[in-house]
Amino acid sequence: MSANSFHVCVVGLGSMGMGAARSCLAAGLKTYGADLNPAAREALQAAGAEAVAESAAAFADKLDAVLLLVVNAAQCNAVLFGENGLAARLRPGTGVMVSATISAADSQAIASGLAQHGLMMLDAPVSGGAAKAAEGQITVMAAGSRAAFDKLRPVLDAVAGKVYEVGEEIGQGATVKIIHQLLAGVHIAAGAEAMALAARAGIPLDTMYDVVTHAAGNSWMFENRMRHVVDGDYTPHSAVDIFVKDLRLVTETALSLNFPLPLATTAYTMFANASNAGFGREDDAAVIKTFAGISLPEKKAV
């Protein structure tokens, strides 16, 4: 099947989903979009989408593939199996790429539900952020059957810079992403702690940021997220509440394996405290706001 006859719908047009949808368009795929946000739908329509809607049910029978980039397992289940659920409306043999960060058990349950409708699933969490998504260069950690990989290859080619084929067992992709999120969450929390200490010590945060990003203590997360702290800009590219959810998955996975995670557990507590303090919808760098006795930069008025 040629790219320009392959029909894909991206469900969830947030920062990652919008980038993935635009990458599908750039690759010549017939691209549809579904999201509750009218501004996101209008933006994708203006970019050249075949059609957009609150629900993909209206064009489900046209699709060869669905890419789910929603927040959690509950949203995945609502989209696929809830009222107007896609699973019953998609043609048998359609590929469903589930790219939310969810538990292995939830991934396996979704795959089982899709199989009852003759649908193929790729357990395919993603990473890379909005910029990589916009460039079609996200990293995909995928598990599933060879048939599912083959069916979804046009989507993978369009959105990914690197695809890791973790294995055939559904849930393996989810587990790799959860372990990755352990690092991502701990790096943000550690970066926030370091910058909070700098603030307490009276070190200018732009200086501290510059030193770290040119030295051995740097990480991608520090460089990306602590820039938001220096700028005093907590516009939510990825919100605190996302890491409350993801680090809960990390700790629950460890508990199921009777395995201790002292750093991840502490990071989870930090993000949960930030959420409970009212910062849940701010950028995840706002975890720094829970440190008392420091002054942080504020966004300059334009």
The whole-angstrom separation of Cα 268 and Cα 106 is: 21
The whole-angstrom separation of Cα 114 and Cα 49 is: 26
Name the residue among 108, 123, 129 with its Cα closest to residue 15: 129
The whole-angstrom separation of Cα 142 and Cα 123 is: 5
Name the residue among 142, 170, 174 with its Cα closest to residue 156: 142
Phi-psi region of 204 (alpha: psi -120 to 50; beta: other; left: phi over 0): beta
Buried-state track 16-43, b at ≥16 Cβ within 10 A, e below 16: bbbbbbbbbbbbebbbbbbbeeeebbeb
Alpha-carbon Rg for the chain, nearest whole angstrom, is 20
Angle 77-172-218 (CA atoms, 0-180°, nearest 5)? 100
In sequence order, the β-bridge partners of residue 68 are 11, 98
Hey, which residues are catalytic here?
177
DSSP element (H, E) containing 79: helix 73-81
Largest Cα–Cα separation, the chain: 62
Strands (E), 69-159: 95-98, 120-123, 126-127, 138-143
51 to 30, 40, 146: CA distances (angstroms): 9, 12, 30
